[in-house]
Copies of this chain bind each other. A is one copy, B any other.
């Protein structure tokens, strides 16, 4: 299974790399999370040049696609040539966004009326796109998820692992990154934040499937 972490110029280092690292802590045959972007190299919010691992189009057949956030998101979502390279489908893919990444979910039409989480700075722009913003750090419905605030990124990664590999795999990945002496509390707290949205997805897919 393959997870694409969609990363553009101006990207927020916490958003892309916390998810990237945590997802790669999960172990399964053929499992990998990769930095995916529109060019061979992208430059972060604070000027670090990073080599992209896979082209943007590789997101189109990934099992999960996560949009990080960044300083240029508002301009990027107006770039129709760029957006035309993405052909995502929440019926066959998990799709998630961190902070301003929610603008991609809105623009790509994957929300279908769902509300999202985003950061305080992005909020008015998401609302201007006609999308309701929740006062919380994580929300998912079916195959679409969003997180607000950089350090909500462990929730987005946890949701992705749990949906694709199960709860135990998510817990094991979280254990690796927990602060020493706070492992049990941290793992339980993060799983609890995500659990209701995994359970509801099961019910929904059972309904759709049945």
A residues adjacent to B (C-beta < 8 A) = 12-14, 17-18, 20-22, 24, 33, 35, 45-51, 53, 117-120, 135-138, 147-152, 154-155, 176-183, 186
The secondary structure that dominates the A interface is mixed
Minimum distance in angstroms from A207 CB to a CB of chain B:
29
User: In the complex, A157 Cα to B48 Cα: how many Å?
Assistant: 18
Q: Is the CB of B13 within 8 A of A180?
A: no
B18, B135, B137: which contacts A14 (Cβ < 8 A)?
B18
CB-CB under 8 A for A179 and B149, given A14-B21, A18-B18, A21-B14: yes
Measured between beta carbons, the chain B residues less than 8 angstroms from A182 are: 137, 149
How many angstroms from the CA of A35 to the CA of B45 in the assembled complex? 13
Report Cα–Cα, A179/B152, bound state, in Å.
5
Query: What is the copy number of this chain in the assembly?
Result: 2
Task: Give the distance to chain B from A95, nearest Cβ to Cβ, in Å.
Answer: 19
**B13 with A20: CB separation less than 8 A:** yes
Q: Knowing A21-B12, A21-B46, say if A181 contacts B51 (CB, 8 Å).
A: no
Complex: chain B residue closest to A47, CB-CB:
B53
Contact (Cβ within 8 A) A151 B136: no
Q: Is the CB of A151 within 8 A of B186?
A: yes
Contact A46 B18 (CB under 8 A): no
Minimum CB–CB distance for A96 against chain B, Å: 15
- Chain B residues in 8 Å Cβ range of A47: 53
